[in-house]
Amino acid sequence: MLNDLPEQAPDKILMLMQMYREDPREQKIDLGVGVYRDAEGKTPVMRAVKAAEERIWKTQETKAYTGLAGDPAYAAALSRMILGEAHDEGRIAAVATPGGTGAIRQAFEMIGRASPEATIWLSAPTWPNHPSILKHLGRPMAEYRYFDAKTGLVDFDGMMADLAGIKEGDVVLLHGCCHNPTGANLSLEQWQQVADHLKAKGALAMIDIAYQGFGDGLDADAAGTRLIVKTLPEVLVAASCSKNFGIYRERTGLLMAIGEGPDAKKKAQGTLNYLNRQNFSFPPDHGARIVTTILDDEALKADWMAELEDVRNGMLALRQQLADELRQRSNSDRFDFIARHRGMFSRLGATPEQVDHMRDENGIYMVGDSRINIAGLNANTVPILAQALVDAGV
Ligand code: PMP
């Protein structure tokens, strides 16, 4: 049987990591994988996470199973953080999931159970796991234009023109903030236009929010999500705590199914619990407990928010420095979009040949579509990247 398995194509980003590790040059820069790194290139455990883990270690008396939906206190704390204090709990069914990926997977499965005909619309481009999981599940999907390679910003006219084709019951997947891989995001006015359009069409929104707090701040980054939830009767929200709590390997996610009232909530909760049961039974708890411990404690929360602000401001400073360096070196403003992007990523607009050239010539590793991880830079390496981009003719 095992010999009959199809060969799997290797993951491009993991291959890039491997190449980077094997590169013997001393001066090399890894802008590939999507993990936050500080100026020393480390991915630290956040202070509040350490403190919460210590507290859990001291007080936890059992590691017996939680409920199928995970600890309700986790869903309550995280939904407050995402949807705001004023959200309507009567609309929300929620389950803890293994990471944001687990939430996305469960959301796609839920859509398939309720409306197998519904097309799921993805931004072009999007995080490659979206189409890959949809393909694995055999769900119908379509793309809408999103990124304007000429300006480096959102192609909003193209997006709305493509979304004119959605049907009633279709699901439009939106990145809550800090779009991966482009870094280009909708303005609040554009969010409202999208929300009004989906409402008029009778379509659903699904929001993937994996970088809350990495863009303009915790509340600002959730503003689009909150607006969608306010406008539309039904929304799915898949959230990840991997980045903003720095707990990647703890696999900490949440899927919220937000409907119109108690009946929808009851049915959705039943299905979410069922899907957890079929796929992995009880969700992991350690990361969820860390998050709950932090969010439910004023001092820990304040410390976590302060550290997250430092992370966010550090990335913004690197963006500004890179845009300034490029303005000077290219004698043009064509890279100014980098300072307008938000989150960990920017798509720079280099061709695959230019990307290869910068890797071979300068030891700079970025994904083939010229997505860079801003957090892979520091104040000393920004000028090196800027010069390489100009030299490569980007
Ligand atoms: N959505 C997007 C857009 C992402 O970039 C990621 C992480 N790469 C995730 C979801 C899920 O992350 P995780 O499963 O590690 O929580």
- pLDDT one-digit tens code per residue, 65-120: 999 999 999 999 999 999 998 888 899 999 999 999 999 999 999 999 999 999 99
Largest CA distance in the chain: 63
> Distance from the CA of 299 to the center of ligand 1, in angstroms?
28
Query: pLDDT tens digit string along 218-270?
Result: 999 999 999 999 999 999 999 999 999 999 999 999 999 999 989 999 999 99
Q: Could you tell which of 35, 106, 129 is best to mutate to test the pocket of ligand 1, judged by most ligand atoms within 8 Å of the CB?
A: 129
- The terminus-to-terminus CA distance of the chain in angstroms comes to 48
Residue 57 confidence (pLDDT) above 90: yes
| Ligand 1 midpoint to CA 327 (Å) | 32
> Is 170 tagged catalytic?
no
Q: What atom in ligand 1 is closest to the CA of residue 101?
A: 14
User: pLDDT > 70: what percent of the chain?
Assistant: 100
Q: Is the pLDDT of residue 281 over 90?
A: yes
Q: What is the pLDDT of residues 138-148, one digit of tens each?
A: 999 999 999 99
pLDDT band at 33 (very low <50, low <70, confident <90, very high): confident
Q: CATH number of the domain at 11-44+301-391, please?
A: 3.90.1150.10
- CA–centroid distance, 107 to ligand 1, in Å, is 14
Which residues contact residue 85 at a Cβ distance below 8 angstroms, ignoring those fewer than 6 apart? none
191 catalytic? Reply is no
Which pLDDT tens digit goes with each residue over 347-367? 999 999 999 999 999 999 999
Cα 97 to chain centroid distance, Å, stands at 15
Query: For tokens 């291959």, what's the residue?
Result: 15
Distance 144 CA to ligand 1 centre (A): 20
Instruction: Catalytic residue, from 30, 77, 94, 127: name it.
Output: 127
Amino acid at 316: L
Structure tokens at 139: 């769900």
Q: What SS3 state is found at 253?
A: strand
Write out pLDDT tens, residues 183-208.
Answer: 999 999 999 999 999 999 999 999 99
What ligand 1 atom has the least distance to the C-alpha of 34? 8
Residue 127 Cβ contacting ligand 1 at under 6 Å: yes
Mean pLDDT of all residues in 158-177: 98
- Mean pLDDT (the chain) is 97
ω into residue 6 within 30 of 0, thus cis? no
Contact 74, 289 (CB under 8 A): yes
The burial class, CB within 10 Å (0-12 / 13-18 / 19+), for 277 is exposed
**Pocket of ligand 1 contains residue 125 by CB under 6 Å:** no
Residue 250 CB–ligand 1 contact under 6 Å: no
Sequence ranges of the domains in the chain:
11-44+301-391, 65-296
- Which pLDDT score, from 0 to 100, does residue 326 have? 97
Q: Considering the chain, what percentage of its residues have pLDDT values greater than 90?
A: 96
Rounded distance between C-alpha atoms, residue 347 and residue 154, angstroms:
12
The average pLDDT across 19-27 equals 95
Does the annotation mark 208 as catalytic? yes
What is the C-alpha to C-alpha distance for residues 166 and 181, in angstroms, rounded to an integer?
A: 23
Which CATH architecture describes the domain 65-296?
A: 3-Layer(aba) Sandwich (3.40)
Distance 130 CA to ligand 1 centre (A): 10
d(CA 87, CA 134): 30
Non-local (6+) Cβ contacts of 356 within 8 A are none
**127 belongs to the catalytic site:** yes
What pLDDT score does 191 carry? 98
- Facing residues of 373 across strands? 345
For ligand 1, atom 12, the nearest C-alpha belongs to 100
Q: Where are the alpha helices (DSSP H) in the chain?
A: 12-22, 47-59, 72-83, 99-114, 129-137, 156-163, 188-201, 218-221, 223-231, 262-279, 286-295, 298-330, 337-340, 352-362, 382-391
Q: Give pLDDT tens digits for 287-322.
A: 999 999 999 999 999 999 999 999 999 999 999 999
SS3 call for 25 = coil
Number of other residues whose CB lies within 10 A of the CB of residue 143: 13
CA distance 216 to 205: 22
In angstroms, what is the span from residue 97 Cα to ligand 1's centroid? 12
Query: In Å, how far are 77, 162, 236, 313, 378 from 124, measured between CA atoms?
Result: 32, 11, 20, 28, 29
Determine which one of 162, 170, 208, 221 is catalytic.
Answer: 208
CA-closest residue to ligand 1 atom 6: 210
Q: Would you say 382 and 358 are in contact if contact means Cβ atoms under 8 Å apart?
A: no
